[in-house]
Structure 1
Amino acid sequence: MALSVVDLYKNALPKTNCKECGFPTCLAFASMVVSEKHPLKNCPYIKTEIIKTCQKELDEQHAEGKWTKKDMAQDALLWAKKRAASMEIKDLPERIGGEIINIEDGSALRLPYFEDFVLIKKESVTNIQGTALNRWEQVFIFNHIAQGGKRDPTGNWKSLQEFPNTISKIKSMHSHVEQPLIKKFAGDIQKLIEASKSLGGIDVTDKYSSSDIAFYFKVFPKIPVLLMFWDVDDSFDAEVKFLFDETIVEHLDIESILFLSERLRQLLCGES
């Protein structure tokens, strides 16, 4: 029978709230054991026989994912890999760009990514040195592989809300992408210019003079992003917009467009 937080607290823990486990109460400790797989043995006063009995139950329910806190990044990555599983590496250059190269354990797609490259294999995406990209980056790259698009950008730019089924994502774009950029660069537009250039951004302000600055990023060969920024002044608050080529929905699902936008924001802000 699965152990809930209350079950563990009532039937296994000493209920002394001694804090020696590192948590303020026995109930808080129970919650971490059940939802975060915190070691039950870290309670200094629980009996050995109770640990043995309860740990078996806990291991079984953790394996089933019962009451555990969801690892959203891992779940998304497994889903993206499953979507891309049928794609052959050798077929990718024609669709999304890059080139096939030989590596020690086979072949990989060497795909331009900002000013650098990534290596795409069946089960992993790494930088050119072989270090795995973070899981959200891998998610939108595997989804790029799986989406099936192959059209080149047309140069017709759209904001996120101009694409279908994005209403629920507008708030996330504002809070996780636009607001942090405004907080970081409002009143210091030169820093944004420098950060954009460091990522290989091309200054296209002369073509989009309605904004204070505009930068073109070639994230992948067929996925460009346009950043437009209006700095704060006496009459208006700062504003930022990411625009996408109209073909992006052929290369990424809407969720992955948001993941990519968040990653670009992180890189501009100097976050790992």
Structure 2
Amino acid sequence: MALSVVDLYRDILPKTNCGDCGFPTCLAFAGMVVSEKHPIDGCPHLAPEVVERCNQELAEQYAAGKWTKRDLAEDALTWAKERSASMNLSDLPGRIGGELLDTDSGKALKLPYFGGHVIISEGDITRADDRELTRWEKVFIYNHLSQGGSRMPIGKWKGFEEFPNTVSKIKTMAGHVEAPLVDRFHGRLAELVDAAKRIGGMEMTGKAHSADAAFFFRPFLRVPVMLLFWDEDPADGFGATAKLLFDETVIEHLDIESIVFLSERLRQLLCDAADEAPQKGNT
């Protein structure tokens, strides 16, 4: 029999709200056990046989995904792996670039990624320098492999909102990427320039855009990204603005969701690089 939050609270827990489990109420504890898989033996007032019986029932409903919170990153990674399962690694260098390697476990692709490299094997994606990839990074890398694009960038830049089917994600791009960049770097242009260079960005300031800072990044060989940043100008009443531009061919190499993931990763790398760097004077 499945145990809902109400079942666990009403039929199993002592309902004393003693706090010995670390939660303020028995109901709060029940919610964590059912939705977050918190160990039920965290309640010290349950008999061992009751804990054993409940663990059996909870294990069944956890396995079935009943009432548990979905792990969105894991779901996305599972889907992305399945989507790319039919790919032939030997075909990838000609389509998206990279170097095919012979390893002890079979063929692998060494693909440039944000100034470093990732190693793509039949079962996993790892960094060449052994640093950890996040699950979301693996998602958009798998999606890049399976998207099917092969064209080289053509140098025609577009804002995210100019691509089809982006309406539902424009607020996400603004709120998760552009606004955090503005918050972190307004009035600190020198820190942005230094951070961009530290993660492999090529400075394009003054070459093609009127932005106070412009940087060209190549997360993947055929997926370039341009960052434009206008700093605040209090005298004229202008606030800071950040904008990402993508080559027109990007939607052949990444789906819309993955473009957002990639943008969020770029924002994170820039902010982390700035936070880790010795502080310098601003321009």
TM over 0.5: yes
Deviation at 1:132, TM superposition (A): 4.2
What is the deviation of 1:11?
A: 0.4
Identical-residue share of aligned pairs (%): 58
How far residue 135 of structure 1 moved from its aligned partner, in angstroms, is 0.3
> Structure 2: how far apart are the matches of 1:115 and 1:247?
21
Distance 2:92 2:21 in 1: 51
1:13 alignment counterpart: 13
Cα RMSD after superposing both structures? 1.2
Distance 2:247 2:42 in 1: 53
* Aligned positions, number: 272
1:254 corresponds to which of 253, 256, 278: 256
Equivalent residue, structure 2, for 1:115: 115
Residue 219 of structure 2 corresponds to 219
Using structure 1 for the length normalisation, give the TM-score.
0.97
The worse-fitting range, judged by mean Cα deviation, of 30-39 and 201-210 is: 201-210
Within 5 Å, which residues of 2 pair with 1:182-261? 182-234=182-234, 235-261=237-263
Distance in 2 (alpha carbons) for counterparts of 1:169 and 1:212? 26
Q: Describe the SS at the equivalent of 2:2.
A: coil
> Which amino acid is 1:254 matched to?
I
Q: Is 94-103 or 71-80 further displaced after alignment?
A: 94-103
- Deviation of the 1:264 alpha carbon: 0.4
Shift of 1:49: 2.2
SS of aligned partner of 2:233: coil
Q: How far apart, in 1, do the equivalents of 2:169 and 2:179 lie?
A: 14
Gapped runs of 5+ residues in structure 2? 277-283
Kindly provide the amino acid, as one letter, of the partner of residue 53 in structure 1. R
Kindly report structure 1 stretches of 4+ aligned residues shifted beyond 6 Å: none
Tell me the secondary structure at the aligned position of residue 41 of structure 1.
helix
The one-letter code matched in structure 1 to 2:187 is G
Which residue in 2 is equivalent to 1:81? 81
How far apart in 2 are the matches of 1:148 and 1:183? Answer: 36
**Structure 1 contact 124–132 (Cα < 8 Å) conserved:** no
Match of 1:160 in 2: 160
Give the CA deviation at 1:196.
0.4
CA distance in 2, matches of 1:9, 1:111: 52
Query: 2: distance between equivalents of 1:13 and 1:49?
Result: 14
Deviations 1:150-205 (A, max 9, x none): 00000001111101110110111111111111111000000000000011111111
Give me the whole-angstrom Cα distance separating, in 2, the residues matched to 1:199 and 1:54.
50
Report the 3-state secondary structure (helix = DSSP H, G, I; strand = E; otherwise coil) of the residue aligned with 1:44. coil
